[in-house]
């Protein structure tokens, strides 16, 4: 369902009990470390390295798709898998070199938790990476952190959102999803949950407004506190 924030829809949001957050580009700026890991693996195979801007545009569908978009056209499946594994090995050792939470995110999460909301993360980042990043920067805040595992299809599939809803005992109507890309919007739509998009992540406000019908966009995470007041 598309949310148009009239006074009526604000009343609906006041009834939310669970807030699910995307990770990369929403809670934490991870693109520089993802770019370093991508370029490390590409260099090993004597392929051209990529700019941070290129990696930013390729983010959103998980690391397998990121590497698929990063390798040259015509790369064999075997070599692609080698590059993907080398990316993961490097990234697992360098999670925290440049990745940091966005301004105001932690304070907003703490306040939302104080207000009694359940908080969760659903990310296309592989599960180990998602859990390590979130627990480092936001310890004891989230009820559940769900990264991509073999048993789930990646977003925009509703698999992970539906799993979190069942695990935490909430339904779609009392859930709000917060993300930064059209992939997050499609995930929320497929899961029948309301969504707010942030403009500071990996898609610009102009891109979101052009590619999504009537998106509700916030420029800072703390604006959630007003929406949910």
pLDDT in 10s for each residue of the chain, 229 residues: 334 343 334 434 457 999 999 999 999 999 999 999 999 999 999 999 999 999 999 988 888 999 999 999 999 999 999 999 999 999 989 989 999 999 999 999 999 999 999 999 999 999 999 999 999 999 999 999 999 999 999 999 999 999 999 999 999 999 999 999 999 999 999 999 999 999 999 999 999 999 998 889 999 999 999 998 6
> CA-CA distance, 21 to 33, in Å (whole number)?
20
Please indicate whether residue 33 is annotated as part of the active site: no
Q: List the catalytic residue out of 22, 29, 58, 194.
A: 22
pLDDT of 10: 44
> CA-CA distance, 180 to 31, in Å (whole number)?
13
Burial 126-146 (b: 16+ CB within 10 A, else e): bbebbbbbbeebbeebbbebb
pLDDT of 62: 86
18-21/28-29 β-pairing: unpaired
Burial 175-213 (b: 16+ CB within 10 A, else e): bbbbbbbbbbbbbbbebebbbbbbbbbbbeeeebeeebe
Tokens of 94: 């360098």
């Amino acid at each position: 369902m598309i949310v148009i924030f009239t006074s009526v829809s604000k009343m609906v949001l006041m009834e939310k009990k669970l807030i699910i957050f995307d990770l990369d580009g929403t809670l934490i700026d991870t693109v520089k470390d993802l770019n370093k890991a991508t370029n490390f693996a590409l260099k090993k195979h004597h392929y051209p390295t990529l700019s941070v801007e290129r990696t930013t545009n390729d983010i959103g569908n998980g690391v397998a798709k990121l590497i698929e978009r990063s390798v040259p056209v015509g790369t064999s499946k075997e070599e692609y898998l080698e590059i993907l594994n080398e990316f993961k090995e490097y990234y697992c050792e360098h999670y925290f070199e440049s990745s940091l939470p966005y301004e105001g995110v932690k304070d907003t999460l703490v306040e939302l938790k104080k207000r009694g909301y359940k908080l969760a993360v659903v990310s296309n980042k592989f599960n180990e990476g998602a859990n390590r990043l979130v627990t480092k920067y936001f310890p004891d805040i989230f009820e559940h952190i769900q990264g991509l595992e073999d048993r789930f299809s990646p977003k925009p599939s509703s698999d992970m959102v539906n799993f979190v809803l069942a695990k935490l005992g909430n339904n779609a109507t009392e859930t709000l999803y917060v993300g930064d890309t059209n992939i997050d919007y499609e995930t929320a739509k497929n899961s029948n949950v309301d969504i707010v998009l942030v403009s500071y992540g990996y898609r610009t406000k102009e891109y979101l407004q052009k590619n999504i019908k009537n998106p509700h966009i916030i420029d800072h995470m703390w604006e959630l506190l007003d929406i949910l007041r």
